[in-house]
Amino acid sequence: MRTYYIAGNWKMHKTRAEAAALAKALVTRLKDGKHKYLVAPSFTALETVAAIVKGSNILLGAQNMAAEEQGAHTGEVSVLQLKDLGVHAVILGHSERRHIYKEDNGLINKKVQLALYHGLEVILCVGELLSEREAGKAEEVCETQTIQGLAGVAAADLSRVTIAYEPVWAIGTGKTASPEDADAIHASIRQVVARLYGAEAAQQILIQYGGSVKPDNAAQLMAKEHIDGALVGGAALKADTFVPIAQFQ
Ligand code: PEP
């Protein structure tokens, strides 16, 4: 059976003091949690949060990473710097990176390969725009993003990759994909992984759902066969909303 993996993406929110307060609350309230947990604060709060989650059952994540190891890349943050801070996993290909910052599948794949090469885990986000869903292309878009995002990833490294299906129209909008619609896309992503890496790898890979996950819809989503957890944005910013998602029944 696959583990459930609940990750909080804090986006561009929280000062160090605010991040510390939230991290402390989560460490206390999730200490008996049964699932896999991760929080991804801003780069500026990584060191602060690293010290708080160290030794707990909450992993530290980064929200992005440069495609190059190091060098003349003003404003970027490298995989080596993230590892130095104790980062365990990095979120790559988030829709805000794809659509606001115009990151394409080639760039995202370069980051995926670099993160894996340096021993990090990766959460690879895929998902369609509303116009793509309305044109009946949701599966096709997710398939392309999955195939191109995983290009060159060795089978031996796939256990360090989680895929997050995040329909762009559901992120931060309060609209959630129905559990049935989300599960259908998750199943199709799992089939893509099966084609690329075989049936066993496809059975094992974790596929999170993201897009307005809240305490009151988490359990219905998680009950679906192919939904293995959640990547949570807005509701991850408060312990009172993240904890019930993380402890969904
Ligand atoms: C996200 O940022 O990955 C996300 C899913 O955000 P929200 O939960 O706010 O829709």
Residue 249: is its pLDDT beyond 90? no
238 three-state secondary structure: coil
Q: Which of 39, 63, 166, 216 to mutate to test the pocket of ligand 1 (most atoms within 8 A of CB)?
A: 166
**Model-wide pTM > 0.85:** yes
Among protein residues, the one with the nearest Cα to ligand 1's atom 4 is 233
What pLDDT sits at residue 146? 98
Residue 221: is its pLDDT beyond 90? yes
Residue 166 bears catalytic tag? yes
Residue 65: is its pLDDT beyond 90? yes
Residue 176's pLDDT band (boundaries 50, 70, 90)? confident
pLDDT digits (tens, 9 = 90+) for 112-162: 999 999 999 999 999 999 999 999 999 999 999 999 999 999 999 999 999
Q: For residue 12, how far is its CA from the centre of ligand 1 (angstroms)?
A: 12
Q: Which of 163, 232, 238 to mutate to test the pocket of ligand 1 (most atoms within 8 A of CB)?
A: 232
Q: Which residue pairs from 69-72 have beta carbons closer than 8 angstroms and sit at least 24 positions apart in sequence?
A: 69/114
- What gap in Å lies between CA 187 and CA 194, rounded to an integer? 10
- What gap in Å lies between CA 56 and CA 71, rounded to an integer? 34
Question: Does the 5-246 domain belong in CATH 3.20.20.70?
Answer: yes
Q: For the residues of 80-149, what is the DSSP string, one character each?
A: HHHHHTT--EEEES-HHHHHTS---HHHHHHHHHHHHHTT-EEEEEE---HHHHHTT-HHHHHHHHHHHH
Ligand 1 is surrounded, with C-beta below 6 A, by: 9, 166, 171-172, 210-213, 231-235
- What gap in Å lies between CA 63 and CA 2, rounded to an integer? 24
Choosing from 121, 128, 139, 166, the catalytic residue is 166
Structure tokens at 41: 């604060």
Among protein residues, the one with the nearest Cα to ligand 1's atom 3 is 233
Better-scored residue on pLDDT, 222 or 175: 222
For the segment 86-110, the average pLDDT, to the nearest whole number, is 98
What pLDDT sits at residue 85? 98
Q: Where are the domains of the chain?
A: 5-246
